[in-house]
């Protein structure tokens, strides 16, 4: 196939990648045939998937809105993916015009396209780094500058921790990141859960084993533990539509079908 100009050299276009599959679910255009094939197979098995991904994006917007309204102007978005409408800096600046955002991802397409879109935005930076190597991530100049000012930082881990295996020690990664945050900082998590649709969990995880980022769906008890050291804000860890919905009707009769568990915590 012909390689688009924004695709980094040497990238394998024949193997699906989680960031590009997510882009397809959201209606984006930065995905390839292998990504679309995987997404279509996943949707055949689980027709609610596009709705779940949009609910995930809606949670990101609500969480960033909440944090900006609390006065946060610094955001560290790890696993940011490919920019789509409603990126973190766009949402935050509706309430805090001087917001600074550092986007972090390890997918070459996500990084390349983010840099292209944000090249003229001096208050945003894009970092090519891996969540599973938090010390390296924290050492990057853009991240160190964001954290080093001493102002509270909102750490966003939205739909990324379920791509960290148990062997990679997600609790240890979170502890390293938490200890690097200034006092008064915040953590927002969205994580695929086992509880909402246990009948779909193994099939969905099997599909992602075809990608460089296999998925690990986890229990609500485990996801709650990721907030150790943070004080959860109301309503705690809940299903995607249940976290501070803009209107009660948005929750629906079966919020568990939107299987992501989400929450926001604040550092004392």
In this prediction, residue 1 carries a pLDDT of 46
Among residues 85, 79, 86, 108, the alpha carbon closest in space to that of 215 is found at 79
Return all residues near 201 (Cβ < 8 A) that are at least 6 apart.
Answer: 194, 217
Domains in the chain and their CATH numbers?
18-266 (3.40.50.150)
In this prediction, residue 153 carries a pLDDT of 98
Q: What is the DSSP letter of 127?
A: E
| Backbone phi and psi for residue 59, each to the nearest 5 degrees, phi listed first | -60, -45
In terms of DSSP H, where are the helices of the chain? 18-25, 33-45, 49-69, 88-92, 108-118, 134-139, 141-148, 170-180, 198-208, 220-225
Beta-sheet strands, E only, within the chain: 74-78, 100-105, 124-128, 154-158, 186-192, 231-232, 238-239, 260-266
Partners of 189 in the beta sheet?
157, 263
**pLDDT greater than 70 at residue 185:** yes
Return all residues near 90 (Cβ < 8 A) that are at least 6 apart.
Answer: none
Instruction: Report residue 14 CA to chain centroid gap.
Output: 24
The whole-number average pLDDT for the span 122-133 is 97
In this prediction, residue 174 carries a pLDDT of 98
Tens digits of residue pLDDT in 219-264 = 999 999 999 999 999 999 999 999 999 887 777 777 777 778 999 9
Confidence band (pLDDT; 50, 70, 90) for 74? very high
- Beta pairing, strands 100-105 & 74-78: parallel
CB-based contact 205:217 (threshold 8 Å): yes
Tokens of 249: 């009707």
* Torsion from C-alpha of 248, 252, 258, 259, nearest 10 degrees: 90
Q: Greater confidence, 253 or 108?
A: 108
CB-based contact 108:3 (threshold 8 Å): no
């Amino acid at each position: 196939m012909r390689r688009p100009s924004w695709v980094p050299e040497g990238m394998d276009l024949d193997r699906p990648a989680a960031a590009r599959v997510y882009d397809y679910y959201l209606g984006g255009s930065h995905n390839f045939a292998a990504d679309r094939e995987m997404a279509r197979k996943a949707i055949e098995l689980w027709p609610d998937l596009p709705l779940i991904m949009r609910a995930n994006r809606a949670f990101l917007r609500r969480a960033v809105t909440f944090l900006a309204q609390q006065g946060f102007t610094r955001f560290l978005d790890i696993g940011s993916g490919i920019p789509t409408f409603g990126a973190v800096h766009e949402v935050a600046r509706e309430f805090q015009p001087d917001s600074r955002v550092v986007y972090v991802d390890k997918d070459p397409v996500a990084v390349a396209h983010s840099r292209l879109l944000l090249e003229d935005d001096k208050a945003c930076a894009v970092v090519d780094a891996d969540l599973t190597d938090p010390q390296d991530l924290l050492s990057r100049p853009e991240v160190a500058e964001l954290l080093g000012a001493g102002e509270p930082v909102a750490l966003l881990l939205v739909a990324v921790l379920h791509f960290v295996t148990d062997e990679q020690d997600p609790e240890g990664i979170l502890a390293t990141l938490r200890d690097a945050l200034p006092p008064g900082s915040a953590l927002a998590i969205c994580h695929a859960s086992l509880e909402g649709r246990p009948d779909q969990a193994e099939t969905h995880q099997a599909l992602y084993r075809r990608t460089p980022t296999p998925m690990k769906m986890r229990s609500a008890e485990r996801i709650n533990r990721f907030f150790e050291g943070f004080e959860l804000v109301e309503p705690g860890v809940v299903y995607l539509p249940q976290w501070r919905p803009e209107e009660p009707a948005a929750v629906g009769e079966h919020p568990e079908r939107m299987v992501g568990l989400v929450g926001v915590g604040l550092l004392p």
